[in-house]
Amino acid sequence: MLEKRIELSEEISNAIKEIGLTHNSHRVFILEFHNSYQNLSGTPFAKYSCTYEWFEKGAEPIQFKCKDLPFSSLSHVVNDIFKTKKQQVIYDDMKKFEEYCPSLMMFFKDTETTCIAYTAMYDKNNTLVGLLVLEYQNDMYKYVNYDQLHIQAAELTSILNLRYKYLK
């Protein structure tokens, strides 16, 4: 089982790298919702963590900053996704984003980030289990194929579900 978990983790890492390269993103990461230490457990989530990350050379990792953070700091983003009835929300004005979501700016404060795109990740029961996040330091976000990104987010969610199945 350990070998299968490692294989699935590598598959997820390769998939987010592919997403970053395909969509010309500076950084791609997954924020998974959880309740304490159990991801995708079916229990209401109270926290989130960055579980996987890919970034261009020269960037600072954020994964170590993002462990067991309160879900409330993401509530504006999740509400925006639900309000717009879309699978993603894009913030391309970082000054407004800082006013709107000050606790999330800790990830992007010392960067040249120009846009952050959050894409919802739903499990087979249509439950929101996390967010796929693309960070841009240029205007390439304008050319993202969001239909393709939604499919990629669904594929990632399937792999995550498999990975957690092997943790039990």
Pick from 22, 20, 29, 92: nearest CA to 56: 20
Q: What is the pTM of this model?
A: 0.88
> What pLDDT is stored for residue 165 in this prediction?
64
Average pLDDT value over all residues in the chain:
85
> What pLDDT is stored for residue 133 in this prediction?
96
- pLDDT higher than 90, residue 5: no
> Alpha helices of the chain — where are they, by DSSP H?
2-22, 75-84, 94-100, 146-165
CB 50 within 8 A of CB 118: no
**Domains detected in the chain:** 2-165 (3.30.450.40)
Give residue-wise pLDDT tens across range 99-125: 888 888 888 877 889 999 999 998 888
Pick from 2, 3, 5: nearest CA to 162: 5
Give residue-wise pLDDT tens across range 50-65: 999 999 988 888 888 8
- pLDDT higher than 80, residue 30: yes
